[in-house]
Chains A and B, each alone.
Chain A
Amino acid sequence: MSLYQLQKFLFDINRDPTVQERHRADLPRLLDRYELADEERRALEAGDIGLIYVLGANGQLLMHYAAFLGLSWPAYIQAMREGVARHGPVRAGVYAMTTRVNEKVAGV
């Protein structure tokens, strides 16, 4: 598990417009710069917010990446729920889900 590298990617892209440009131009090449586990790389290549969440990415990093990928707030919240439903509980970090998959806490 190279969660640090996964989170480093999120940190870089959230704060650096040139990394965002590289993402749009050639995502696989951008990902080559990070020492990612296969599952992490697949999650990023697929834009699978739910799996990235389950892998343990800090929500304060993932939240902005989801917005960068064009997810609305309700879609982002739902993607995390579906990630847990599909892949099981969050595996690391301090952003675990404690509510039920079908529970819409704030109505979204």
Chain B
Amino acid sequence: MSLVFAGVCSHAPGITGRASMADAAVREPFYAAYRRLHEQLRAARPDALVVIAAEHFANFFMNNMPSFAIGMADRYSGPIEDPAWLGIPRTSIPGNAALSQALIAEVMQTVDIAFAEEWKCDHGIMVPLSFLTPGYDLPIVPVNINCQGPPLTPLHRAWAFGEALRRAADQVPQRLAVIGTGGISHWPATPDSGKINEAWDRQLLDRWVRNDKAALLSYSDPDTYRDAGQGGFEIRTFISVAAAARGRGHLQHYAPIPIFAVGCTIATMDVAA
């Protein structure tokens, strides 16, 4: 089969953990957009959901930091954070080790990745899943791109990874959905938390919607750090999804919500041949 669905969404922990601190007038339209994404995902009838996330030291640390890692287990757990802090109960999430193994074996033909038979999900995966599979009834394939511990995964490798993932998806019998989570501009876990560069975000989203590879890969890390904060490094997940889907994107929601520390984004992308 192949990809049957592709999208991107924000994963900031404040989205669930600081819900009560947000103005309902901006929070509720974002939540509604997340619920629409949930319905669109269900309508695509995927057998599994590949979640390309930017984790925050849940599994990987600077003692052995992979550029890319893919989970290969039948069960995952999360959130690793204090459930009360994140606003998401601790739970078990189904995986599909055989599917993971098939995808990993094919991705490895062109991109060197790590795999992991243990995986603890942090907010990068849990916040999206809490909206997209609230019953935790859809098997996931967790993916991490190093957006945290410099030197970071180069953007052009994130593109190559997306291409490899698509090639792998085309070779397995399952119907796969892929979601990239992260970004866009934000300064999380600093006193700047809440700062959002809307103009930068909208330019990135315009490039993503047009699936303009050259423009998407033109950011340098120093420029991103200056203009979009350390949270901006997570554009790698958006880039991989664009490379995998190959189609045109559709921005469904964008609104800066400072107490959530991010420009809250929901978008889908057509899966092109």
Partner-B contacts on A (CB < 8 A)? 4, 7-8, 11, 14-15, 58-64, 67-68, 73, 77, 80-81, 84, 94-99, 101, 103, 105-108
Contact = CB atoms under 8 A, between A and B. Distances in A.
Contacts of A60: 56-57, 148, 188-189
Contact of A98 (B85, B192, B194): B192
Given A62-B189, A73-B21, A108-B21, 8 more contacts: A15-B58, A73-B17, A94-B150, A94-B225, A97-B190, A97-B192, A105-B191, A105-B195
Contacts of B85: 64, 67
A68 B57 CA distance: 16
A105 B194 contact: yes
Interface of B: 17-18, 21, 56-58, 61-63, 80-82, 85, 120, 148-150, 187-195, 225, 230, 233, 258-259, 261
A103 B195 CA distance: 11
A108 B193 CA distance: 9
Nearest to B84: A67
Nearest to A57: B189
A58 B57 contact: yes
Contacts of B258: 105-107
Given A61-B57, A64-B81, A84 B120 contact: no
Contacts of A11: 57, 61
A59 B195 contact: no
A90 to B, nearest CB: 8
Given A15-B120, A73-B18, A99 B57 contact: no
Contact of B190 (A14, A64, A73, A80): A80
Nearest to A76: B189
Given A60-B56, A60-B148, A15 B192 contact: no
B191 A84 contact: yes
Contacts of B192: 97-99, 105
